[in-house]
Structure 1
């Protein structure tokens, strides 16, 4: 096997204390709010699904998803150092990412909303929900976690043990899965971002389960060998309302907006009995 070996940094624990002001992620000042979302949210949306990308990619990974799922608008989150934010400094850790994200996201949390994350995208989604709760701010009605072990069992990511050659091959497969054609220069740029994202993944852990006020839906994919079924059970300790579901397909099936996933998201964003309180 060839490739460059990686040094895994010391662990980052999700601390209970949350700074009152977000840290800058671009070396100059707080990022411009509009950049955090791929597009401006619609004012007439009844609910929102904020979608967190996984390692190495940006918000465009959700390009095959519909703009509306039932009554909910899909809102892909754009992270620094990629796509239209390619010139910005990487966020470093998921803790810092959440700190920076909350302020620009807050104006759009004025109606029912859900966080969705797949694989490593679950970690910033969870950390953002945790920090919102710690600050007494609106929290997701539901956190939908797909193909990721609970934070206290992290780090868990197959990519952490791969060489550059193997990572490039994986990235090429992802591009093809999204309907694109791998380009050598694009693969090199993406690999650089992926290394930094994997460092953030390797750092993130918690000392134990951190319960959220949100409900949690845990997804496993029937043909996905990356996360054995038993590794997802620990999510039960993260909320009083946890449900588990198995959907058909492999690890990247969600990219194509499969009907069973869209139906699930429509269900979890449907109006709750008795209404919902978001101020």
Structure 2
């Protein structure tokens, strides 16, 4: 089996018959990054095949982004045509690339976004590009510095990149807030469920460092002394336990935040139950 690294003509790459559809917003976001920083990870292909073409194994979004930028060729890992025993083994490599990866959890993502902003600001100076009204988010004492920083950093990305990468103002603000959790606390919770729960991390970030340490200690105790940040706070402050919310209350909270069109779709999906309820009310 021969594997080499080189640059392949994009026109010669066959990217049909993919398991994953290329999403335009993701390709556009990658294209922006390629235009500024180039390709980080090579795509992988098999070839040359009949006619001198190459078949893409993985990297469809990267390939699409390269086309958007106008590249004529793209760096690739190239496997010889006999590298795989059969088509199934080749497909399995694509599947492994998509499945055998560890996505960032909520804590890791927040720290990464905050660090990215810090590095960008250190290299470029204070982020000032773009200025959108923040009056609706301002407090009596002025604008929350993290909110302002989030808006300014978000403005450095296009709308496509903000959507594909989840780097809108609100997402960045939440990340900056979570990233204020001290490093020592982050290390303690890195391998537990709390690290993947953004809502809980935001509640934790609102507490002082000493209280964060107490809260985490209670959640990580064996057996746990509290299941959530809110429960731990109640114990620390000697508050009566909050009543357990019913399933309908959770659904109601989510429903109330939906756009009107989405609420109407919900009604359509549960029209039988709605009609029964209306009948009972008379």
Q: TM-score range by the shorter chain?
A: under 0.3
Q: Which has the larger radius of gyration?
A: 2
Q: TM-score normalised to the size of structure 2?
A: 0.21
Q: Larger % of strand: which? A: 1
Q: Larger % of helix: which? A: 2
Q: Does 1 or 2 have the higher relative contact order (CA < 8 Å, sep 6+)?
A: 1
